[in-house]
Amino acid sequence: MTEDFDSFGQDTDGLVGKFDNMIRQNQMFFFDVEEFEEIIDFYLERNITTKARTAIDYAMRQHPSSNTFQLRKAQYYAGVNNFVKAVDLLNSLEITEPQNPDIHLTKGSIFSKLNKFADAIRSYEKAVEYSDEKDDVYTRIAFEYEELKNYDKAIKYLIKALDYNPENQAVIYELAFCFEMAGREDDSIEFYTTFLNKHPYSDIGWFNLGIAFSNTQRFAEAIDAYEFAIAITPDFSSAYFNKANSLANLDRYQEAIDLYEETLKLEEPDPLTYYYIGECYEKMDEFEKAYTSFQAAIKLNPEFADAWMGIGIINDKTGNERVAMKYMSKAIELDSTNTENLLYYADALFRFELFDDAVLVYKNALTGNPNHPDVWLDYSSIYAEIEDFDNAIEVIMRGIEQQPQNFELFYRFAGYLAKKGRNKEAYENFEMALQLNPHEHQQLFDFYPELTQNINFLNLVEIYKKES
């Protein structure tokens, strides 16, 4: 038999073979209840529905008093998407066997398929009361809450599941995802720290603690966590990869490269790994090595847009404008939704004096991602560069409508207004920026140093310094 059948073992294979022979030869053999259960489950798990139904019918004839096969019949109906019959049968069974967890689990799975997530949760909550595998049922409940986007409740039930089975690696991973989706990174760090105090040899626990630290920009602590994961499992390639990412974020590029290369020894070559190696070399101004790495990524995945952009950036930095544009254009052709690439491409077009083309790319970026923190700033700046402050102001005002809490937009707006001589409005918007974030007031003066001579701007800075 194939590996797919190994979970049933040779005894089950023999039973299924015997049953198949019985059907082919049109004979009648006796199978006890447990044997029929194995045969039916064999077919149901492989979605061999016709044979499953045949086996159920034979089982019910040989054992008419057993409710077990009524449950299997409901599971068969669910497998062929006849949910009405399945639920009706399960409702009848629940009256006679209210403490059978499999009845509630089957109903829960049906409701889940029908996107009736609240009903699924109610069925699973009944199941958990009687089930011996509570971690599995709690995990199912958590998944339903995830479907409802209620990640706080999902976290609650995943923790319950982990209390019953702290070795459940899938739950440990899923918790990290839910903490991230709920925006509870600090809680994630606290949870995994407590969990690891009890289970210090959980490599997955250390790995996910590292992710939580990384998500809060605490890269040095993330590196420590990944090192613990690697110490427990020396061939943990994802831990090497994530540790390399953290090192790169700390500008420790050569160390990051060494670890990325280690992952290439532990798993199949991956274009993303080569791309990150190329990025590190680019940051180190080792452009030939960067080019080689980006090419390796493209060889593995010719549609990897970021690698094409990487080669374009290298050519841009080394003065090969025509070649740079070719590669950047290819990257945008492959992925016109990547905002970072669009912004770099638009900036390059502007620097290469292709102003109208740059405007079109910025508009594309705005359409795809109007909430990106840099897109309005970059777009308005090309007008400011040619001293077209009317259009710069119009763009930045649209940005403020889209992102009213973005203090950077207000600082830039104040600068544009001042350059147009609209000083009263400039002071008002500078004050608005100070109210949102007084510590970043230098942004205005970095762009327009001459405004450091304006006493009104300086007075506003002093006022908000004292208040903060």
DSSP, residue by residue, 249-283:
HTT-HHHHHHHHHHHHHHSS--HHHHHHHHHHHHH
Beta carbons within 8 Å of 92's beta carbon, 6+ residues apart: 70
pLDDT tens digit sequence for 334-360: 999 999 999 999 999 999 999 999 999
pLDDT of 103 higher than 90 = yes
Give the integer Cα–Cα distance in Å for 159 and 35: 37
By three-state DSSP, how is residue 48 classified? Answer: coil
| Residues 113-137, mean pLDDT to the nearest whole number | 94
237 secondary structure, DSSP code:
H
Residue written as tokens 């140093």? 449
Residue written as tokens 């980006």? 294
pLDDT band at 7 (very low <50, low <70, confident <90, very high): very low
Contact assessment for residue 375 and residue 343, using Cβ atoms and an 8 Å cutoff: yes
Residue written as tokens 């082919």? 24
| Residues 170-187, mean pLDDT to the nearest whole number | 94
pLDDT tens digit sequence for 239-281: 999 999 999 999 999 999 999 999 999 999 999 999 999 999 9
| Residues 101-108, mean pLDDT to the nearest whole number | 94
| Residues 68-79, mean pLDDT to the nearest whole number | 87
Q: Which of 129, 130, 132, 151 is nearest to 142 (CA)?
A: 151
pLDDT band at 468 (very low <50, low <70, confident <90, very high): low
How high is the mean pLDDT of the chain? 92
The pLDDT > 70 percentage for the chain reads 98
Contact assessment for residue 433 and residue 414, using Cβ atoms and an 8 Å cutoff: yes
- Spell out a b/e string for 38-56, using b for 16 or more CB atoms within 10 Å of the CB, else e: bbbbbbbeeeeeebbbbbb
pLDDT tens digit sequence for 20-48: 888 888 878 888 888 888 888 898 888 88
The pLDDT, as a whole number, for residue 409 is 97
Give the integer Cα–Cα distance in Å for 111 and 94: 16
**CB atoms closer than 10 angstroms to residue 94:** 16
Sign of CA dihedral 366, 372, 376, 382: negative
